[in-house]
Amino acid sequence: MSEPLQQRWCAAIEYDGSGFRGWQAQQPGVRTVQALVVDALSYVADHPVEVVCAGRTDAGVHALNQLVHFDSHSRRPERAWVLGSNSRLPDDINVRWVAPVAADFHARYSARSRSYRYVIWNRPTRTALGRHRAAWVYHRLDADAMHRAAQGLVGEHDFTSFRAVACQSPTPWRSLEWIQIRRDDDLVVMDVRANAFLHHMVRNIAGVLMTVGKGEASEDWPARLLGLRDRRQGGITAPAQGLYFVGVRYPDYPEVDDKTRPAQEPMLPGPL
């Protein structure tokens, strides 16, 4: 008797990263998002599944729409995947939706762009409620100056000055499609989209723009850093808790793209 045909599925995962050592599964006893998601989906499938994500996140980083794909020969309705998985997951992870996709869909390699958001709590006193969900900067930030300075990063560039020293990407070249910074009362929010990101690239961009916002560097400094191609000149790496993986664009797969696009447009309210 032949084995049932495999179906490829795509799922959107939302998580508060403050209680995790990042996305990627590690040794036993280390709490990661991937390990818990795999356990939940395998429970619903009634067989082990492997999960591939669109972009791995570090410890403390959150996700509004982390996209994953997995294969299963089990016949389950979409609602069963969602409700069954969430019944097995802790409160800081949530499966938003699950949908069937074409067999050649790949959460990572089919992606054409990725979006992130960085949130800064900007007031003289720290926040108790938002301490795990935003970076705190007590200096008054000039969000308009930060936005103007950020426009020098748009386009295809060598982002060596903005990537972690230990970054393993074979090339530092990335194409940054747009970046916007705005103020919403005590929040300063940065939204950015690129074809792909280097390790710590968004947090390093945020750190550089914070320096501009404090008036400690000129508005042309981010663009000049690109030309230096030297991470040692690039300033601080902004804290992990302010970073959110917003989503991914898949224009070749409209059944997925239509579900993720609304969450990735610029100028949305912040997540707090």
Q: What is the pLDDT of residues 166-218, one digit of tens each?
A: 888 999 999 999 999 999 999 999 999 999 999 999 999 999 999 999 999 99
Q: Which residues pair with 62 in a beta bridge?
A: 244
Both 231 and 158 in a single domain? yes
Both 30 and 94 in a single domain? yes
Residue 266 lies in a domain: no
Both 214 and 129 in a single domain? yes
- Binding site residue list: 116
- Helix, strand, coil percentages for the chain (3-state, nearest 5): 30, 30, 45
Both 33 and 121 in a single domain? no
Percent of the chain scored above 90 by pLDDT?
84
**Cβ-proximal residues to 248 (8 Å cutoff; 6+ apart), any chain:** 54, 55, 65, 67, 107, 111, 113, 114, 115, 260
Query: pTM for this one?
Result: 0.93
Residue 268 lies in a domain: no
CB-based burial label for 50 (10 Å; 0-12, 13-18, 19+): exposed
What is the arithmetic mean of pLDDT over 9-35?
93
| 270, pLDDT greater than 50 | no
Both 68 and 146 in a single domain? no
Residue 21 lies in a domain: yes
- Binding site residue list for substrate: 116
Please give the positions annotated as active site.
58
- Domain extent at residue 40: 7-101
Around Cβ 24, how many Cβ atoms within 10 Å? 14
Both 155 and 222 in a single domain? yes
Both 122 and 245 in a single domain? yes
**What is residue 266's predicted lDDT score, i.e. its pLDDT?**
46
8 Å CB contact between 167 and 196: no
Both 90 and 142 in a single domain? no
Residue 85 lies in a domain: yes
Both 79 and 138 in a single domain? no
Both 158 and 73 in a single domain? no
* More confident position, 261 or 126: 126
Query: Phi and psi (nearest 5°) for 182?
Result: -145, 160
CATH of the domain at 76: 3.30.70.580
| 258, pLDDT greater than 90 | no
As given in the structure block, the two tokens for residue 27 are: 């040794």
